[in-house]
Amino acid sequence: MKAPRVTLDQWRTLQAVVDHGGFAQAAEVLHRSQSSVSYTVARMQDQLGVPLLRIDGRKAVLTEAGEVLLRRSRQLVKNASQLEDLAHHMEQGWEAEVRLVVDAAYPNARLVRALSAFMPQSRGCRVRLREEVLSGVEELLIEGVADLAISSFSIPGYLGTELSDVEFIAVAHPEHTLHRLNRELSFQDLESQMQVVIRDSGRQQPRDVGWLGAEQRWTVGSLATAAAFVGSGLGFAWLPRHMVERELKEGVLKQLPLEQGGSRHPTFYLFSNKDKPLGPATQILVELLRTFDTAPLDAPFAAPQQA
């Protein structure tokens, strides 16, 4: 990659000339001589090969090319300042990145609120979010791939902070054989039908959580795929209520009238990497995840303003 011919200091000088109305004013703001400012801008024009300013009376105004380049340079200078700020924050122990692994059944609405609130406080710290299913969350935490993890399982050797529960309901298409029985359903009724199960993303000890031992079983890779299959009349499944609210309202899915067990409420927990001290950014994110975990999923929400 070819090295830039124009420095950030030169772009800052041009910006000062334009923003403050001339070479003399820019020199005063930059604490430099007027001749130094004039030379810097003239040198820029020679290096770029295009005129940036033209003299209109006693005032220097931008050329068409100068307007385009100045506009682009503002983002360049801003990015450079943010990079320097990030280096300063890292020197003080601020993390460059937080790795968050979440069970796919946990409501996205809560994550969006927490991460949106984190953005203006992040000081450039990125969040690497990864979704897993069942024991996949546990594995990544134990392997050290995650700094924070949200799971519905108790993870041996880790103390988790209790979050809210998520309601899973047994559903099928309204025209499914189980609904046509027109009565409360038993375990034996379900055993004879096809069940759609979400594949555990863990590799070491995958679990068959929720499988009833039905004669026929289809295993899919995501909750969204399971909802699509069941909504097409292909079997039944336990799915998070918050993920299928629209399908329930539109009549694409209907809750099964089970004698017992038609609704499950697993509690979720927030875990942190016990082998890595929580940095300041991670601590802020932990508090935000806990705060927004209790917010109603349908609560009004405004996205943060971009800086």
Which tokens hold the place of 301? 């929400």
* Helix/strand/coil for 153: coil
Q: Is 186 exposed, middle or buried (0-12, 13-18, 19+ CB in 10 A)?
A: exposed
| Confidence band for 18, pLDDT divided at 50, 70 and 90 | confident
**What per-residue confidence (pLDDT) applies to 213?**
57
Which tokens hold the place of 293? 């975990």
Q: Which residues, including other chains, have CB under 8 Å from residue 170's CB and lie 6 or more apart? A: 190, 236, 237, 238, 255, 256, 258, 261, 262, 263
**What per-residue confidence (pLDDT) applies to 66?**
85
The three-point CA angle 103-108-113 to 5° equals: 125
| pLDDT tens digits, one per residue of 104-118 | 999 999 999 999 999
**What per-residue confidence (pLDDT) applies to 239?**
95
Q: Among 3-12, 37-46, 239-248, which is the least confidently predicted range? A: 3-12
**What per-residue confidence (pLDDT) applies to 304?**
54
Total number of residues shown for the chain: 307
Computed on alpha carbons and rounded to an integer, the radius of gyration of the chain in Å comes to: 29
Domains of the chain, start order: 8-92 (1.10.10.10), 97-165+267-293 (3.40.190.10), 168-264 (3.40.190.290)
Q: How far apart are CA 221 and CA 205, in angstroms?
A: 16
**What per-residue confidence (pLDDT) applies to 77?**
82
CA 282 from centre of chain: 14
Q: How far apart are CA 284 and CA 17, in angstroms?
A: 40
Core vs surface per residue 61-92: b (16+ CB within 10 A) or e: ebeeebeebbeebeeeeeeeeeeeebeebeee
Judged against a pLDDT cut of 90, whether residue 305 lies above it is answered with: no
Average pLDDT over the chain reads 86
| pLDDT tens digits, one per residue of 49-100 | 888 888 777 677 888 888 888 888 888 888 777 677 656 555 566 788 999 9
| pLDDT tens digits, one per residue of 259-292 | 888 889 999 999 999 988 888 899 999 999 999 9
Q: What does the pLDDT average to over 10-27?
A: 86
Higher-scoring residue by pLDDT: 164, 210: 164
C-alpha distances out from residue 264 to 26, 166, 167, 177, 261, Å: 67, 8, 6, 22, 7
Q: What does the pLDDT average to over 119-148?
A: 92
Task: Evaluate whether 49 touches 66 at the Cβ level (below 8 Å).
Answer: no
Q: How far apart are CA 219 and CA 234, in angstroms?
A: 12
Which tokens hold the place of 30? 């930059």
- pTM greater than 0.75 (yes/no): no
Q: How far apart are CA 300 and CA 302, in angstroms?
A: 7
Higher-scoring residue by pLDDT: 23, 147: 147
Share of the chain above pLDDT 70, in %: 89
**Residue keyed to tokens 């011919």:** 5
Judged against a pLDDT cut of 80, whether residue 306 lies above it is answered with: no
Higher-scoring residue by pLDDT: 104, 23: 104
